[in-house]
Amino acid sequence: MSAGRLPCAILGAGGYIGQQFARLLADHPAFAPPRLIGRDRGRRRTLEDAWVLAEEPPADLARRPIEPATPARLAAQGIRVVFSALPSGTAGPIETELARRGIAVFSNAADHRLDPGVPLLVPEVNADHLALAGPPRAGRGLLVTNPNCSTTGLVLALAPIVPALRPRAVHVTTFQALSGAGYPGVPSLAIVDNVVPYIPEEETKIAQESVRLLGRRRGRTVVDAPFPVLASCARVATRDGHLEAVTVEAGRRASLDELERAWAGFDPLAGRPLPTAPHPPVERHPGVDRPQPLRDRWAGRPDRARGMAAVVGRVRWDPPYLRFFVLTHNAVRGGAGGSVLNAELAAERGRLGSGRE
Amino acid sequence: MSAGRLPCAILGAGGYIGQQFARLLADHPAFAPPRLIGRDRGRRRTLEDAWVLAEEPPADLARRPIEPATPARLAAQGIRVVFSALPSGTAGPIETELARRGIAVFSNAADHRLDPGVPLLVPEVNADHLALAGPPRAGRGLLVTNPNCSTTGLVLALAPIVPALRPRAVHVTTFQALSGAGYPGVPSLAIVDNVVPYIPEEETKIAQESVRLLGRRRGRTVVDAPFPVLASCARVATRDGHLEAVTVEAGRRASLDELERAWAGFDPLAGRPLPTAPHPPVERHPGVDRPQPLRDRWAGRPDRARGMAAVVGRVRWDPPYLRFFVLTHNAVRGGAGGSVLNAELAAERGRLGSGRE
Amino acid sequence: MSAGRLPCAILGAGGYIGQQFARLLADHPAFAPPRLIGRDRGRRRTLEDAWVLAEEPPADLARRPIEPATPARLAAQGIRVVFSALPSGTAGPIETELARRGIAVFSNAADHRLDPGVPLLVPEVNADHLALAGPPRAGRGLLVTNPNCSTTGLVLALAPIVPALRPRAVHVTTFQALSGAGYPGVPSLAIVDNVVPYIPEEETKIAQESVRLLGRRRGRTVVDAPFPVLASCARVATRDGHLEAVTVEAGRRASLDELERAWAGFDPLAGRPLPTAPHPPVERHPGVDRPQPLRDRWAGRPDRARGMAAVVGRVRWDPPYLRFFVLTHNAVRGGAGGSVLNAELAAERGRLGSGRE
Amino acid sequence: MSAGRLPCAILGAGGYIGQQFARLLADHPAFAPPRLIGRDRGRRRTLEDAWVLAEEPPADLARRPIEPATPARLAAQGIRVVFSALPSGTAGPIETELARRGIAVFSNAADHRLDPGVPLLVPEVNADHLALAGPPRAGRGLLVTNPNCSTTGLVLALAPIVPALRPRAVHVTTFQALSGAGYPGVPSLAIVDNVVPYIPEEETKIAQESVRLLGRRRGRTVVDAPFPVLASCARVATRDGHLEAVTVEAGRRASLDELERAWAGFDPLAGRPLPTAPHPPVERHPGVDRPQPLRDRWAGRPDRARGMAAVVGRVRWDPPYLRFFVLTHNAVRGGAGGSVLNAELAAERGRLGSGRE
């Protein structure tokens, strides 16, 4: 383990998002190979035993055990950073407790996303919201959340063009992948030869989180973006990759060229040393029938950023209505990868102290 | 064959929609068992040989040959009604020629849908548009079209509530089934574990046909409905049943109760002797996660109207935005069944003369 | 409720097989509409609330509650026949207790299938095994089981040809549908774009149950058929319908014609008043690429017997190896329908007493 | 283009197997970046335009045109090696003509597989069959074929254990992936929620090719292996990866341990400089429910050999019957990769002359 990498742990390492964290952190330049925390099942269980992703488990972590651990234990063992893939509901109090013990928590769970004082972050969109957490103080932890998996792709696609369009409203219909429900998640009998036009709480999360992410920070509060985001969410039988059909009701008549340039020029993290950041973060696909989950979910360069880019396509501009599709890998960009990038941002901003194992 | 049933034929009987026509017409009270017209493939081919639907072929027609026939031939043989499942592009001139020869043509093809003088009909929505065809005259044929498969469900769901909402715009995102592309249609490698966010010309068809169907007839022309319909169309891996997420931008603040009553009370064909008409034509499903293609595509009572009802669910009203999902069986209500119902309407209005075989 | 129909109940009415029982018993000539028994979930739950099949719930039962009930309660309420869709493991002691209380139990569970004194039945194959239960006695119940869902189709296809072939061994590879695992059953992430070549205990069940079903009864014991049945079982992403590739290593060189006649002439229940019995029970499909789950799972006439026939196709005879495919609806013929047919057989043989409600 | 790499071309570069060739040859140490040959479609078409694989097109070839070319043209341009992904039927005469002009042809097509004098090769299994082509002579071409996609996996799994088992017969049932039929291939309506138990000519190919591959070369002829291989072939809805259930009727009672050691020790190309050869070529998976197409199709190390290993699992030995499952990536190991490996073998054996561009 190289000196300087921060000791970290994954909570909920046995689940779909937890395993994506393991993939992304198996060989990370800033974080040491993670401890894998999960429920006690009464028998020793390794990452490999629990593995549910189609991709192979990372060789270096495959035989590590998934073990229970309390916040106190993790703090005592010197864990400095925790990536939380706990289910919403369970996550809340545990994450609070970890932060209270001085640990920096990067969470995919919904529990704290709308809390005042907890940054809800997509680094390319609202990196300055990190300041909501207040100034760093010795021994004080940190709690940072990434948004709901559908929200991430939406705000990445919107952020570049919101200034030009000044939306009056945004309408989004989602085609969400199976992995968005975790494992075991959606029963096969519910979805083979079917679409389910309902995902509990999803439409509300998109509505609330989008306007917060696109909102303006004033000191330690956020003024939400001044337009509603109305979602209609459905589950389809794709494995990974949330596709979204977006219609923006524009308040300003930008030219299509202006919009295309806004997307093309969007790379706010360019030149910044965040290894998981994709460049560009929003890929504009020229294909007549793209983006597609199967073909575009792993978009993102460099290699470490595979699955981190949003792909925008089929742009149609009939003022005042702008329509397009956007796709992101829900479990990478919209899940574990989002929190890893948030942690990289925090590290770059000096919020994680120096690494020492 | 019972006296009084009109001699009829199906064009394109070897294809997916043609076979749905065969199912619906195998034992129809107003139309005699259809002749099955299709391309010459150099060998005798029965309906059974060509069968591609998951449902069984109708026993009485299964062993009938699919044979080529010219319009002249069909007219000479006394065919009075033709149901056209020809592909758009091919259909146009053949249908014109059939009508010229005095035959009543009910077409699922796009070619003539927007022609002046050709009714584009959904009987529950705009039965009076039948008058666009002009007064019946001896020996003159008739040409009536049903809309695109996605459009039918949309206008059925909208028709009851348009008066109450006076829409400023309608946004619709579709989850379209495989059978919408016919057979062989979508390659399996294109769609297993995937969504394809593009269906050629579909968005334009929905935009143009919807406003015509919801438009007002003035004599022999139609004034389109005064709001745009903006569609985003995608193909998903369901076999049958187009699901649509609809957002209406309302120009009037109806109460939700008023909207629900508008749907509940909608049955303009009640008491009329159209055997394929579903009662009610729009079913309001109370389920939290409905309508679903797998479970709701065969909606419609009585039995002859199975697959003919539109199912509306997940109604959310955040004025001025009304959101809901609607589902229809694309190949029945949105295809063959639409034209059969159009033919029943024309028969009831005395446009097909009296049956005699 | 017509006089003379026997009061009955379904155990496990909330599950996939339980609901198939409900479909088949909703309007049965010999059994009264069933009581629906299931776990207490702390709130009232109707059949409709629990419904997971793609087919619609039977109108007459949809709003009936699914309620808990003990064996004692059921006996006290005059229930005469119980159809058990309980999970194996849970089923055993409950079924024993019901029989002890004088109730006739027809079970889909595995627990008692190999018990001495418990008939394991497929009526077309081994109706005489009913005698394993001993002579009827006043107040004594009955316990009859149907085999595992894959076994049923296999023995139906084999029974007619075993005499002609005198097998040395039978090899079978299964393509099993999702519903075979019940609901929620197989996670979608486990099976979309995948095949899982393992189903716990399935290969053993097929091996043991097949030779018992094809065995010869001697008094109240069965001598197993004298050849091994070796299975390789896999789950595929079809909703319903187990397909099986069968190879018989023959000990006798029958002619292909002899085999075809054996299948064609097989209808041991012909003329017997069992309403759910399909005629013929084994359909020989001539298609080059049949049977297929999607197209053939509902085979079986008359209407009440839909889903009850086995469909055999692609017969290839390279002595000593006979190869063919067989398909059956796993949840109907291979599950609930199997036990309903067993109950009809028992009723015909006077094992259920006279109906009185 | 590095000196020393042989000028080559891919025939049928627009199809599924052709594109797999492109992936594998984009950066190959022995072959120069390939020319891409395909039908004239009346407009310029690049590899990217034609791309149908889920994986990304190789960056270096993506914008190369797919162009028509005659054998004469290819010879004149100095092409030394041709990889043929032409459809069977079309391939035959073209491949003959290319070889006649001195080009070494490595073909995935069936046309010449059983020709005397044409090696049908799986290098780990029968590398010495290369000698069937006769001694190299200046100016004389070469024609080498890889077997049918299902056959490759089967013989890889069998080769190590045939000596120990001395089979009397081999029974195999296949679960074949969609890509085995090329693109567009299987219509989605034919396979979603379905299995098709028929693939034209497949069972015959497996029977004939397996015994030839496992046969013994005597000079320039092959004596087929002395046992029948009986196949039952079915298509399932997986994208890539043919799974096969194999039963060997053994003529000798090896111990299970002996069989496991035979597989574990099998690596006949170890130490040989064939870059696409996987080590080991047969991976023995310990998982209770493996191999699975989704999880195991990309097996094979080193990186260049991904998708080249066969994975064997679920071994059950009930003498005289050995049962197991085997999986191979049909389009890589069972298609393009098979021919690339054959070409590497030929190069190593000095059959391709020295590279010069």
Residue B247 touches partner A, C-beta closer than 8 Å: yes
Q: How far is B193 from chain C (nearest CA, A)?
A: 7
D140 vs C158, residue with greater confidence: C158
**In B7-141, which residue ranges form alpha helices assigned H by DSSP?**
16-25, 47-50, 71-76, 91-100, 123-126
Q: How far is C191 from chain A (nearest CA, A)?
A: 7
Closest by alpha carbon to C169, among C124, C126, C207? Answer: C207
CB C204 within 8 Å of CB C289 = no
pLDDT of residue D356: 45
pLDDT of residue B42: 87
Examine the residue annotation and report whether A285 is marked as an active-site residue of this protein: no
pLDDT per residue over D196-249, tens digit each?
999 999 999 999 999 999 999 999 999 999 999 999 999 999 999 999 999 999
CB D118 within 8 Å of CB D80 = no
pLDDT per residue over B100-110, tens digit each?
999 999 999 99
Burial of residue A46, with CB atoms counted within 10 A of its CB: 0-12 exposed, 13-18 middle, 19 or more buried? middle
**In chain B, which residue ranges form alpha helices assigned H by DSSP?**
16-25, 47-50, 71-76, 91-100, 123-126, 149-158, 162-165, 188-191, 202-213, 256-264, 293-296, 337-348
Q: What share of chain A is helix, strand, coil (3-state, %, to 5)?
A: 30, 20, 45
Mean pLDDT for D153-163 is 98
Residue of C nearest to D318 (CA): C230
Q: Which of A175, A247, A295 is nearest residue B171 as measured by Cβ atoms?
A: A247
Q: How far is A197 from chain B (nearest CA, A)?
A: 6
Would the CB atoms of A295 and D193 count as touching at under 8 Å?
no
Find the Cα–Cα–Cα–Cα dihedral C111, C117, C120, C124, rounded to 10°: -170
Question: What element of type H or E holds A91?
Answer: helix A91-100
pLDDT, mean over chain B = 96
pLDDT at B277 over 60: yes
Using an 8 Å CB-CB cutoff, list chain D residues near C232.
173, 245, 247, 314, 323, 325
Closest by alpha carbon to B330, among B202, B243, B234, B200? Answer: B243
The CATH code for residues B149-330 is 3.30.360.10
pLDDT, mean over chain A = 96
Count the alpha carbons within 13 Å of D232 in the hemisphere toward its beta carbon.
Answer: 31
Tell me the C-alpha to C-alpha distance, in Å, between residue D42 and each of B186, D39, D47, D67, D68: 24, 9, 15, 10, 11
Closest by alpha carbon to A130, among A28, A222, A226? Answer: A222
Q: Which of A183, A185, A193 is nearest residue C239 as measured by Cβ atoms?
A: A193
Quote ipTM for the complex. Answer: 0.96
Using an 8 Å CB-CB cutoff, list chain C residues near B295.
54
CB B195 within 8 Å of CB B252 = no
pLDDT of residue B303: 95
Q: Which residue has the tokens 């609070």?
A: A96
Using an 8 Å CB-CB cutoff, list chain C residues near B193.
192-193
Mean pLDDT for D337-356 is 89
Domain boundaries, chain A: 8-148+336-348, 149-330
Residue C207 touches partner D, C-beta closer than 8 Å: no
CB C315 within 8 Å of CB C247 = no
CB C234 within 8 Å of CB C203 = no
Residue A207 touches partner B, C-beta closer than 8 Å: no
pLDDT per residue over D62-88, tens digit each?
999 999 999 999 999 999 999 999 999
Fold of D8-147+336-348: Rossmann fold (3.40.50)
Chain D adjacent subunits, 3+ CB pairs under 8 A: A, B, C
Q: How far is A171 from chain D (nearest CA, A)?
A: 30
Q: Which of D54, D193, D294 is nearest residue A193 as measured by Cβ atoms?
A: D193
Residue A3 touches partner D, C-beta closer than 8 Å: no
Using an 8 Å CB-CB cutoff, list chain B residues near A295.
194
Residue D16 touches partner B, C-beta closer than 8 Å: yes
Active-site residue, selected from the candidate residues B28, B242, B285, B329: B242
Q: Any residues with CB less than 8 A from the CB of D280 and at least 6 apart, and which?
A: D264, D266, D267, D309
pLDDT of residue D354: 61
- C residues 287..326 contacting B (CB < 8 A): 294-295
Would the CB atoms of C184 and A179 count as touching at under 8 Å?
no
pLDDT per residue over D298-325, tens digit each?
999 999 999 999 999 999 999 999 999 9
pLDDT of residue B136: 84
Would the CB atoms of C192 and A190 count as touching at under 8 Å?
no
Active-site residue, selected from the candidate residues D8, D28, D129, D149: D149
Would the CB atoms of A313 and B230 count as touching at under 8 Å?
no
| Ranges of chain C with pLDDT below 70 | 1-3, 354-357
CB D118 within 8 Å of CB D144 = yes
Residue of D nearest to B53 (CA): D189
Tell me the C-alpha to C-alpha distance, in Å, between residue C222 and each of B207, C115, C131, C231: 70, 11, 11, 22
Residue A330 touches partner B, C-beta closer than 8 Å: no
Query: Percent of chain B scored above 70 by pLDDT?
Result: 98
Chain C adjacent subunits, 3+ CB pairs under 8 A: A, B, D
Q: How far is B117 from chain C (nearest CA, A)?
A: 42
pLDDT of residue A197: 98
Give yes or no for a cis peptide into B135 (omega within 30° of 0). no
CB C106 within 8 Å of CB C81 = yes
Q: What is the distance between the alpha carbons of residues A123 and A341, in angstroms, rounded to a whole number? A: 7
Q: Which of C175, C288, C314 is nearest residue D195 as measured by Cβ atoms?
A: C175
Q: How far is D176 from chain A (nearest CA, A)?
A: 19
Would the CB atoms of A187 and C184 count as touching at under 8 Å?
yes
Examine the residue annotation and report whether B8 is marked as an active-site residue of this protein: no
Q: How many CB pairs under 8 A join B and C?
A: 8
Question: What element of type H or E holds B173?
Answer: strand B167-176
DSSP result, B103-154? -EEEE--STTTT-TTS-B--HHHHGGGGGGG-S--TT--EEEE---HHHHHH
Residue of A nearest to C16 (CA): A189
Q: What is the distance between the alpha carbons of residues B13 and B11, in angstroms, rounded to a whole number? A: 5
Find the Cα–Cα–Cα–Cα dihedral C340, C345, C350, C351, rounded to 10°: -60
Q: Which of B54, B192, B193 is nearest residue C294 as measured by Cβ atoms?
A: B54
Per-residue tokens: C290: 């049949």
Structurally, at CATH architecture level, domain C8-148+336-348 sits in: 3-Layer(aba) Sandwich (3.40)
Pairs from C65-70 (Cβ < 8 Å, separation ≥ 24)? C65/C36, C66/C13, C66/C14, C66/C36, C66/C37, C66/C38, C67/C35, C67/C36, C67/C37, C67/C38, C67/C40, C68/C37, C68/C38, C68/C39, C68/C40, C69/C9, C69/C35, C69/C37
pLDDT per residue over B242-276, tens digit each?
999 999 999 999 999 999 999 999 999 999 999 99
pLDDT of residue D277: 98
Per-residue confidence at B308, pLDDT binned at 50, 70, 90? very high
pLDDT of residue C357: 37
Q: What is the distance between the alpha carbons of residues A288 and B207, in angstroms, rounded to a whole number? A: 19
Would the CB atoms of B183 and D189 count as touching at under 8 Å?
yes
Using an 8 Å CB-CB cutoff, list chain A residues near C186.
187-189
- For chain A, list the strands marked E by DSSP: 8-11, 35-37, 66-67, 81-84, 104-107, 142-145, 167-176, 216-218, 221-223, 229-235, 242-250, 282-284, 310-318, 321-328
What value does the CA radius of gyration of chain C take, rounded to a whole number of Å? 19
DSSP result, D33-73? PPEEE----SS--BHHHH--SSSPPPTTTTTSBEE---HHH
Residue D230 touches partner C, C-beta closer than 8 Å: yes
Q: What is the distance between the alpha carbons of residues C226 and A52, in angstroms, rounded to a whole number? A: 42
Q: Which of D192, D193, D295 is nearest residue A54 as measured by Cβ atoms?
A: D295
Q: Which 8-state DSSP code applies to residue D252? A: S
Per-residue tokens: D120: 């049908």
Residue C236 touches partner A, C-beta closer than 8 Å: no
pLDDT of residue C328: 98
Q: What is the distance between the alpha carbons of residues B189 and A245, in angstroms, rounded to a whole number? A: 23
pLDDT of residue D2: 47
Residue of D nearest to C237 (CA): D193
Per-residue confidence at B139, pLDDT binned at 50, 70, 90? confident
Would the CB atoms of C293 and D243 count as touching at under 8 Å?
no
Kindly report the CATH class assigned to C149-329: alpha beta
pLDDT of residue B356: 44
Residue of A nearest to B176 (CA): A195
Q: What is the distance between the alpha carbons of residues A269 and D58, in angstroms, rounded to a whole number? A: 27
| Ranges of chain A with pLDDT below 70 | 1-3, 354-357
pLDDT per residue over A30-58, tens digit each?
999 999 999 988 899 999 999 999 999 99
